[in-house]
Amino acid sequence: MNDSSLYRYSRHISLPQVTRIGQQKLTQSRVLIVGLGGLGSPVALYLAAAGIGQLMLVDGDQVDLSNLQRQIVHNTAQIGQDKVISAQTRLQALNPDIQMTTYSYRLEPEALQQLITTVDIVVDCSDNFTTRFAINAACVRHGIPLVSAAVQRWNGQVTVFLPTYSQSPCYACLYPNQEEEGEVCSETGILAPVVGIIGSIQAVEVIKVLLNIGESLCGKLLLLDTFTLQWRTLKLPKDPACLVCSSVNFIREIR
């Protein structure tokens, strides 16, 4: 690490749980962020600022005026641009030292699976069940940690899945009835800072899992209702009948 990096990350390095060794580890990490919307914005901004060495950004959408109320990685001049390009511009200006790879289209399950095998951790900031289930299945199969969150109206939830731990539940344990589509925020609305709170927690969990420190949200579901400002943590067991994780032999690539 050169002098300017030591200075840039000095507030991390000062943390006894991180130090120069931990920061070095972050700069060598590869993180996949699926969705550069409300949750993906704070996740990408904080992980870029934190010096995650390689960010893979996936989003097939373009920046729309109605996104800017909460999707703070984009700006007004970027309306109409691919979200991944808009995000990349902002993130590179924030931290020129990091590398990014962008995918400006919705990845098919096969391609997504391929990409997931190349990263250390996946952050699910996507907006639909199909993508969420595909990400989960690939992470379980390949033993890749997954930080998953969702938001709507005044509410948010976040959890961590660590498929290499035999006790870890997976996303499908939470939603045994896959066919049920939830509400989307264009219909129900979302209060802007809720995505900031929940996305920031996702970024915290990513860093902890990468450094293997602290106590993660694995096996716990953190729920937030900002209207009454109540937090809840539920213990989340693995579903022994889960079709995705109950009998998996995950494939751990040698990297």
- What amino acid positions are annotated as catalytic residues? 185
The CB-of-70 to other proteins minimum distance in angstroms stands at 6
The CB-of-173 to Zn ion minimum distance in angstroms stands at 4
Contacts (CB under 5 A) with Zn ion, residues 145-174: 170, 172-173
Instruction: Tell me whether residue 13 or residue 224 sits nearer to other proteins (CB atom).
Output: 224
Side chain identity at residue 114, one-letter code? Q
Length of the chain counted residue by residue:
255
> Interface with other proteins by CB under 8 A: which residues?
35-40, 59, 61-62, 64, 66-67, 70-71, 124-129, 132, 149-157, 174-175, 177, 180-186, 188, 190, 195, 221, 223, 225, 227-228, 230, 232-237
Which one of Zn ion, other proteins, none interacts with residue 245, CB within 5 to 8 A by kind? Zn ion
Rounded (5°) CA angle 27-31-32: 155
Q: Which two tokens stand for residue 32?
A: 């996949």
Instruction: Tell me whether residue 53 or residue 165 sits nearer to other proteins (CB atom).
Output: 165
| Separation of alpha carbons 60 and 79, rounded Å | 14
User: Cα separations (Å) of 93 from 4, 45, 97, 139, 184?
Assistant: 16, 11, 10, 31, 31
Residue matched to tokens 């293997």: 212
Binding residues for Zn ion, rule: CB under 5 A, are 170, 172-173, 242, 244-245
